Structure 1
Amino acid sequence: MSHAVPLLRQITDYAHRANPYPLYEKLRGTPVLQEEEGGPYVISSYYDILHLLHDPRISSEAANLTTASAEGGTAGMGGAEETGLPPSFIRLDPPEHDRLRRLANRPFGPPHSPHRIDSMRDELAEIVAGLLDDLGGATEIDLVDQLAYPFPVTVICRLLGVPREDEPRFRSWVDPIVAGLDPDAGGDTAERRREAQEARLQLGMYLAGLVEERGREPRDDMLSQLVTGHDEDGRMTTMEVLSTAVLLLIAGHETTVNLITNGMLTLLRHPDVLDRLRDDPGLAVSIVEELLRYEPPVQLVPQRTCITDIEVRGVTIPKGSRIWLVLAAGNRDPERFKEPDRFDPDREDIQHLGLGSGVHSCFGAPLARLETQIALSTLARRLDNPRLLEDPPPYRHNAVLRGPRHLRIGVDGVRPRPERR
């Protein structure tokens, strides 16, 4: 007699990566699910996830997660202490989280740098235009390798002050760090954790050289401002600068790669919307918001721990328990969204969970939004008769950061840049 495969194990199984949404629908049938003793409590309804993202009884502290369980990606972007680097602010709780996030935000956004992102609009458009110019007379492109990856990597390197030519070097460290985020409920995670810890240490050591240079000779980049900046919160220690720089370098491009790729895949599956975007670039704003609901680059958050007993829908979740918040399931909750499985950029209310919520809402959200708006509107305008050559495309293995590893597109050509008026 065969045994039913636990739902959570199916969700993390690569076989379902191309379309996990039917599994999320099943998951919502039991909004608070613990399938195996000692396993995580999985939360899948929109309102429950939203409330828990704002609940101070739910901890993001790496130390609390490690105490609760050694599983669940403890060596990811937040980092485990075995790496020699302290956890980044996404793996801390207030008030320490708030102090470091404020210091990191000084060179990035309001109130100290209110125009930093918007002032990059022309520069971002030029990077995308240059990548498309490089395609020449191509009739087949891989959107990931030729645009969705190099674009945000170039941007975050310029923002931070990391040499773009070092990308092959730091890529060898970023890949295992990101792999360490994947909970892979059915697999042995010990080796991936070890590799992620080692890679985070190596990336930190690489960035330490740049940080030392900026301390001697500051430049107009975020690394320099993280090193030299201070206010009523004081200043970051060198180790805090390094852990923050590791976080920003990785998070500054990984999710955006998926958002751009998921976005173009969705538009090619909805050619009527692609046609509208070609004629009206301003539609990109609402398209990106709907994409963050419909195909979010971050599918779930497996790194939360209860610091006291809490009750959700009549279920008591004991202190020390791990909680998984399945953002992508909440984003398609029919209790919250009408016709949730329909891609509709004309929705009047798209209060999605695609960028999180609460104190840990996505730090780079303004940049990710703008990059994706510019990328998609430019692709719509300049690709001549784009069509999918493979559907579904091959996906990355990661269940947390979900997106195609390649997206092969056939085109009749790449239109020249429009003349400036």
Structure 2
Amino acid sequence: MTHGILSQILDPANRANPYPLYEELRKTPVFHDGDGPYVISTYYEIQSLLHDPRLSSDARNLAATAHDPLAEGGGEEQQALPPSFLKLDPPEHDRLRRMTNRPFGPPHSPHRVDGMRGELGDIVTGLIDGIGDTERIDLVDQVSYPFPVTVICRLLGVPREDESRFHVWADTLAASLDPDPGADPSERLRVTHDARMELGMYLAGLIEERRKNPGEDMLSQLAAGHGQDEAMSTMELLSTAALLLIAGHETTVNLITNGMLTLLRNPDVLRHLREDASLAVPLVEELLRFEPPVQLLPQRTPLADIEVGGITIPKGSSMWLIIASGNRDPQRFENPDRFDPYRKDIQHLGLGSGIHSCFGAPLARLEAQLALSELARRLENPRLLEDPPPYRQNAVLRGPRHLPIACDGIRP
């Protein structure tokens, strides 16, 4: 295998269809070109590593000599803030994740996500009602982007009148995740830094306000702290709120957009979903296997030498887990390149696994189910205007930047 396969995976020219590259990669389940990361691309190996306590998510454990093309210039997304729990190991990871989960899900808040179902439905309905010209709809800008950002605002307790400001910050920070060779790097860094500072100051003010006048929202409950853990520090709270904002909407935007693109390429499934909204549940699971919004997990580091597929990976090395490749591993899934929501066994890796499995999975699932079933029901004869559509450049968070579609009208 050539040294060039990793640069091909990172090359935006291959973003619309990276799957043939992953197929090539699976021929060497542990790929290492001498100075780059160790790349794991097969299902069972990835699944095992996601549950292996010897694998660290903390970049501070990376050996100084380790070379990782995705780490260079990265990590600036949380300058001035401590790492979020996503980038920590136990016990710090467990403490912060446990505290964040208390107001979000079971056992302490079992109805938080399901209790939002009506409100989520109203937000989707409002966005579809506001589409306007049906001869050219950009599904990203008009539905799949504003929907999860609005939801995160409501969840955190951002006042309605401030939501538009939040959208602007989220947009700027999302853009910073994509390489942009044509842009002036110093100007881009300044704009991103300013947005991060403004967002941080806004959140700090909101946290202070919630400490004085707590409400039912998640930020109020996080600021209060409960049980065996002390309350989070302000810096930890800021870091967690920023994580929920970015991770909480970036992946869902891609999940909904990839979902609509896949449905428009599979008109029979789209028709079935229009006739039976309950199909949305298995459909979203198959979507997380077939077109996962997070394609790979970079910057994992073994804390000791570990053996994978007969290869010893040295302590401190950089490792990538290509979950999108594992999801299409023929050793695990029959006809893996076929989109089939009626599949009997969809144990995908699309939301990760183990202690770092996707924190917002219940919310992301519900958002995608509601958005896709409602779009299928209401758009009359929808069709793609560009296939493939223009993709974002990011190799990790993969999805179309725009999804131009048309339809004959919008059903009530």
Which range, TM-score by smaller chain? Answer: over 0.9
Partner of 2:54: 57
Partner of 2:5: 7
Please tell me whether residue 256 in structure 1 is matched to residue 279 in structure 2.
no
Native 8 Å contact 1:140 1:409 kept in 2: yes
- CA distance in structure 1 between the aligned counterparts of 2:187 and 2:43, rounded to whole angstroms: 34
Partner of 1:40: 37
Native 8 Å contact 1:77 1:250 kept in 2: no
Relative to 1, partners in 2 of residues 1:288 and 1:70: Cα closer, same or farther, differing over 3 Å?
A: closer
Deviation at 1:175, TM superposition (A): 5.0
1:313-328 alignment to 2 at 5 Å?
313-328=309-324
Which digits, 9 at most, give the CA deviation of each residue in 1:58-100, with x for residues without a partner? 10113224854575348868955xx221111011101111111
Q: Pick from 344, 350, 356: which aligns with 2:346? A: 350
- CA distance in structure 1 between the aligned counterparts of 2:186 and 2:56, rounded to whole angstroms: 23
Q: Pick from 240, 244, 247: which aligns with 2:236? A: 240
For these two proteins, the number of residue pairs brought into alignment is 409
- CA distance in structure 2 between the aligned counterparts of 1:135 and 1:296, rounded to whole angstroms: 26
SS at match of 1:303: strand
1:109-258 alignment to 2 at 5 Å?
109-136=105-132, 138-166=134-162, 169-171=165-167, 173-174=169-170, 177-178=173-174, 200-258=196-254
Please tell me whether residue 296 in structure 1 is matched to residue 260 in structure 2.
no
Partner of 2:80: 84
Deviation at 1:266, TM superposition (A): 0.2
Native 8 Å contact 2:36 2:68 kept in 1: no
Please tell me whether residue 392 in structure 1 is matched to residue 393 in structure 2.
no
Relative to 1, partners in 2 of residues 1:71 and 1:192: Cα closer, same or farther, differing over 3 Å?
A: farther
- CA distance in structure 2 between the aligned counterparts of 1:169 and 1:65, rounded to whole angstroms: 37
Relative to 1, partners in 2 of residues 1:132 and 1:178: Cα closer, same or farther, differing over 3 Å?
A: closer
Which digits, 9 at most, give the CA deviation of each residue in 1:325-345, with x for residues without a partner? 000000000000000000000
Identity of aligned residues (%): 70
Partner of 2:23: 25
Aligned partner letter, 2:26: R
Native 8 Å contact 1:143 1:409 kept in 2: yes
TM-score, with normalisation over the residues of structure 2? 0.92
Aligned partner letter, 2:44: Y
- CA distance in structure 2 between the aligned counterparts of 1:127 and 1:170, rounded to whole angstroms: 16
TM-score, with normalisation over the residues of structure 1? 0.90
Deviation at 1:205, TM superposition (A): 2.6
- CA distance in structure 1 between the aligned counterparts of 2:62 and 2:199, rounded to whole angstroms: 23
Relative to 1, partners in 2 of residues 1:39 and 1:176: Cα closer, same or farther, differing over 3 Å?
A: farther
Aligned partner letter, 2:11: D
Aligned partner letter, 2:85: F
- CA distance in structure 2 between the aligned counterparts of 1:126 and 1:8, rounded to whole angstroms: 43
SS at match of 1:390: coil
Deviation at 1:139, TM superposition (A): 3.0
Deviation at 1:133, TM superposition (A): 1.1
Deviation at 1:230, TM superposition (A): 1.6
Native 8 Å contact 2:179 2:393 kept in 1: no
- CA distance in structure 2 between the aligned counterparts of 1:321 and 1:238, rounded to whole angstroms: 33
- CA distance in structure 2 between the aligned counterparts of 1:205 and 1:353, rounded to whole angstroms: 36
Q: Is the deviation greater in 207-216 or in 251-260? A: 207-216
Relative to 1, partners in 2 of residues 1:77 and 1:275: Cα closer, same or farther, differing over 3 Å?
A: farther
- CA distance in structure 2 between the aligned counterparts of 1:138 and 1:176, rounded to whole angstroms: 27
Deviation at 1:169, TM superposition (A): 4.1
Deviation at 1:167, TM superposition (A): 5.0
- Structure 1: 5+ residue stretches without partners: 417-421
Which digits, 9 at most, give the CA deviation of each residue in 1:94-123, with x for residues without a partner? 111111101001111000000111111111
